[in-house]
Amino acid sequence: MGQQLTMTPQLQQAIRLLQLSTLDLQQEIQEALESNPMLERQEDGDDFDNSDPMADNAENKPAAEVQDNSFQESTTSADNLEDGEWSERIPNELPVDTAWEDIYQTSASSLPSSDDDEWDFTTRTSAGESLQSHLLWQLNLAPMSDTDRLIAVTLIDSINGQGYLEDTLEEICAGFDPELDIELDEVEAVLHRIQQFEPAGVGARNLGECLLLQLRQLPANTPWMNEAKRLVTDFIDLLGSRDYSQLMRRMKIKEDELRQVIELVQSLNPRPGSQIESSEPEYVVPDVIVRKDSDRWLVELNQEAIPRLRVNPQYAGFVRRADTSADNTFMRNQLQEARWFIKSLQSRNETLMKVATQIVEHQRGFLDHGDEAMKPLVLHDIAEAVGMHESTISRVTTQKYMHTPRGIYELKYFFSSHVSTSEGGECSSTAIRAIIKKLVAAENQKKPLSDSKIAGLLEAQGIQVARRTVAKYRESLGIAPSSERKRLM
């Protein structure tokens, strides 16, 4: 004799559905609808009986017979019609719901008009385009010899997603067949032609060349053009280290002039290949919606994201209790799986509602005042409040999103560690990040705040944070160090 925990198929299905995102859940539901004839969507306004289809109900039994009788009556009445009656009842032109113009009006309106100079076909396409395909399309429009075209295709294959040439010209030249007798100057000449393609700056071998290519495509009368070309050609390293005093001394220009030159360089794109978006868009569908009604925060499920399912009453009525045939056994199993699936969906929705409600109850300050009012919260707090295990809370909050008046957030966003305050309280790491971001945004760009200075400002507010912790939070926010944030005002 012994005791052991067994994972039943129902429990495994419920756990699997619990950790799925909304988009994955919709795909799972669609697969269940296609594989199980007992399942069907419940449309709005449907009125059906939720009673047990397996029960001995006299109303369910003759359902098929009533349908057959109605079909027989309609067939009989159709056979009794004379040929003249058929011609009188059927009109020459049947009415339709929509007109041709209604269907194709949207497509016609999306075409460019005669006075639309800014129309771009690439902005109307839904699928992304890779940088290589964009460059090959321009290559097909450029007249050149077969050898040059072969060199151009090889060069384009060596351009990465940022728009830079990864391999050196020597390596590319050495990769060709010796019988072609391709020289290094031929490869460089073809590279110069590719560097004239769009986007501007593509095919560059380093950052300075990339910026220089973009400057060359600007109008010749652009102010500070020569100084900007000299800056990106000879002093790109000093610009990266923000050594403005050295730049002014070597370029022999004043501070105001250097500022305008740097503004021109900063208007360029250091990663021209990023303009061509090749990845497919990722959509986020919120699972719960939070809104404020008077002084209360209300939490509700996003009904549009989760379709409602039901057991098909007609197919369920065909299941007979005492029948052990193969067809009846198949339908009985499908009916049981449909019930388990619907019950697992209901359990998922109830668990999600409980967790979301507790999160909103705990983070009212964030909903009212923003990130700086975020309270410390861990999985154990929510697990204890709803009476579930922490692993369950982790599954519920993974890839689940909440729509709030402040935006859409993943449920895991509301969980953060805490830092002690001087008054004996606690402050969440999310609130500290928000304060650091606010301090950096309001700093003097000539003298940016160092990590030690930020730690001192936080300590003045009663938040005890070490300099290393400030540096970690700053890096997580994507904020550069103070030496790199320095600007020439």
Task: Convert the pLDDT of each residue in 167-213 to its tens digit.
Answer: 888 888 888 877 878 888 888 888 999 889 888 889 888 988 899 99
Higher-confidence residue of 367 and 12: namely 367
CA distance 459 to 465: 7
Give the pLDDT score at 116: 47
Write out the H or E segment, with its range, that includes residue 273. none
User: Is the pLDDT confidence value at 333 over 50?
Assistant: yes
**Residue 84 — pLDDT band, cuts 50, 70, 90?**
very low
CA distance 489 to 486: 9
**Tens-digit pLDDT profile for residues 255-309:** 888 888 888 988 888 888 887 765 666 778 888 999 988 888 899 988 887 778 8
Determine the average pLDDT of the residues in 222-243: 85
CA distance 264 to 83: 84
**Residue 7 — pLDDT band, cuts 50, 70, 90?**
low
Answer yes or no: are the C-beta atoms of 301 and 288 closer than 8 Å. yes
Residues ≥6 apart with Cβ < 8 Å to 229: 212, 215, 216
User: Is the pLDDT confidence value at 60 over 60?
Assistant: no
User: Is the pLDDT confidence value at 240 over 60?
Assistant: yes
Give the pLDDT score at 357: 92
Residues ≥6 apart with Cβ < 8 Å to 397: 355, 379, 410, 411, 412, 415
How many other CB atoms are found less than 10 A from the CB of residue 481? Answer: 13
CA distance 149 to 176: 13
Closest CA to 478 of 414, 416, 433: 433
- Residue 145 Ramachandran class (φ > 0 left, ψ -120 to 50 alpha, else beta): beta
The average confidence (pLDDT) of the chain is 77
Determine the average pLDDT of the residues in 67-81: 41
By mean pLDDT, which of 45-49, 411-415, 417-421 is the weakest? 45-49
Q: How far is CA 11 from the centre of its chain?
A: 30
User: Is the pLDDT confidence value at 68 over 50?
Assistant: no
Determine the average pLDDT of the residues in 36-40: 86
CA distance 217 to 302: 50
Give the pLDDT score at 50: 46
CA distance 190 to 135: 13
Write out the H or E segment, with its range, that includes residue 187. helix 184-194
**Residue 403 — pLDDT band, cuts 50, 70, 90?**
very high
- Tell me the three state secondary structure of residue 102: helix
**Tens-digit pLDDT profile for residues 102-116:** 444 433 333 444 444
Answer yes or no: are the C-beta atoms of 207 and 270 closer than 8 Å. yes
Answer yes or no: are the C-beta atoms of 376 and 366 closer than 8 Å. no
* Residue 259: Cβ-neighbour burial (10 angstroms; 0-12, 13-18, 19+): middle
Task: Report pTM.
Answer: 0.58
**Residue 45 — pLDDT band, cuts 50, 70, 90?**
low
User: Is the pLDDT confidence value at 25 over 70?
Assistant: yes
Amino acid (1-letter code) at residue 347: S
- Give φ, ψ of 117 to 5 degrees: -85, -20
**Residue 53 — pLDDT band, cuts 50, 70, 90?**
very low
User: 418-485: what fold?
Assistant: Arc Repressor Mutant, subunit A (1.10.10)
Give the pLDDT score at 80: 47
CA distance 161 to 142: 22
CA distance 231 to 268: 13
CA distance 474 to 476: 5
Q: What is the dihedral of CA 289, 292, 293, 296, to 10 degrees?
A: 110
**Tens-digit pLDDT profile for residues 437-475:** 888 888 887 788 888 888 888 888 888 888 888 888 888
**Tens-digit pLDDT profile for residues 341-376:** 888 888 888 999 999 999 999 888 888 888 888 888
Look-up: residue for tokens 């079909």?
A: 71
Q: Taking the CA atoms of the chain, what radius of gyration do you get in angstroms?
A: 34
Could you tell me the sign of the dihedral formed by the alpha carbons of 428, 431, 433, 436, in that order?
Answer: negative
Higher-confidence residue of 51 and 406: namely 406
Determine the average pLDDT of the residues in 209-231: 88
Quote the tokens at residue 20. 């799925």
Domain layout of the chain by residue ranges:
130-277, 288-414, 418-485
Residues ≥6 apart with Cβ < 8 Å to 267: none
CA distance 323 to 329: 8
Higher-confidence residue of 222 and 4: namely 222
Give the pLDDT score at 6: 67
Closest CA to 335 of 2, 140, 15, 60: 60
How many other CB atoms are found less than 10 A from the CB of residue 181? Answer: 9
CA distances (Å), origin 459, targets 375, 378, 421, 462: 18, 24, 8, 5
